Amino acid sequence: MKRSEINAAILYVMKALRENKFPLPPFAYYTPEYWRTVDESEVEIADNMLGWDITDFGYGDFEKIGLSVFTFRNGNYNFPEKYPKNYAEKILFVRDGQILPFHYHWYKREDIINRGGGDLEITVYNCTEDDFADVEGGRAGKPGKFADTDVHTVIDGKKMTVPAGGKIVLKPGQSIAIEPGQYHQWQGVPGTGDVILFEVSATNDDNIDNRFYTSGRRIPEVTEDVEPEYLMFADYKNYYNPAVQQAERA
């Protein structure tokens, strides 16, 4: 993705959330310059991938296939003693008509909640047992496999069964529980408006826990056509080094 696209996407979501009275924490507005001054007291933000996350999943057409994410809180698979939280919370902002491609998670259980705006259409499949077992192949982009079996899910506390490839529409206020190994694709229903989703889930690591049905890139490669206005979590390593920054202040 171009950095100019990422800048525009973050500003778009900031404006939409402000208009819908969804406030963000202060670190949502940290500039790259400010990140160079941040000390070790806020290392959890960087360690646990909190903050902005914009992706086109490697398709190069963000308006059609993409997602804007802001992560409020998260645990950490690598440092469970330092960060014992076993949960995460995010805003997932879906543009009118925008698609999230088919994928599942090996580890993460998640509830997807339509908090406002338009309708969200979700298509679901189970994966096959051998697909789920082939973690190395899945991470390498090997094509996935849909199972021809019913999908069992829960909509707002009500157990539901839908056929393989079945579709569920979440209106504002509704939610769905998605289990590991359940392929899901969604689209903001065209013409109903942008969708403000919340995700409440187990600890999440998007570097290792996304299995796409077809080859996809969860963290985008960025073309730096302009300077960043705000950072994504993947940018922190280039701007935030608390040990060096502390030494420079000493």
- Compute the average pLDDT of residues 183-202: 98
Of the chain, the percentage scoring pLDDT greater than 90 comes to: 95
Q: Which fold has domain 3-248?
A: Jelly Rolls (2.60.120)
End-to-end Cα separation, the chain, in angstroms = 38
The pTM assigned to this predicted structure is 0.95
Predicted confidence at residue 243, as pLDDT, reads 60
18: tokens are 């402000």
Pairing, β 211-212 against β 158-162 = unpaired
In this prediction, residues 204-212 reach a mean pLDDT of: 95
Compute the average pLDDT of residues 1-6: 98
Q: What is the pLDDT of residue 242?
A: 79
| Average per-residue pLDDT for the chain | 95
CB atoms within 10 A of CB 70: 24
Neighbours of 241 (CB within 10 A): 16
183 has pLDDT over 70: yes
Long-range contacts of 35-42 (CB under 8 A, 24+ apart): 35/231, 35/236, 35/239, 35/240, 36/239, 36/240, 36/245, 37/245, 38/240, 38/242, 38/245, 39/242, 39/245, 39/246, 40/242, 40/243, 40/246
Q: How confident is the model at residue 215 (pLDDT cuts 50, 70, 90)?
A: confident
Pairing outcome for strands 67-73 and 110-117? unpaired
* Contact by Cβ (8 Å): 215, 140: no
By the 8 A CB rule, do 212 and 127 touch? Answer: no
How many CB atoms are located within 10 Å of the residue 105 CB? 22
Kindly report, residue by residue over 127-137, the tens digit of the pLDDT. 999 999 999 99
> What percent of the chain has pLDDT above 70?
97
How many angstroms from the chain centroid is the CA of residue 73?
12
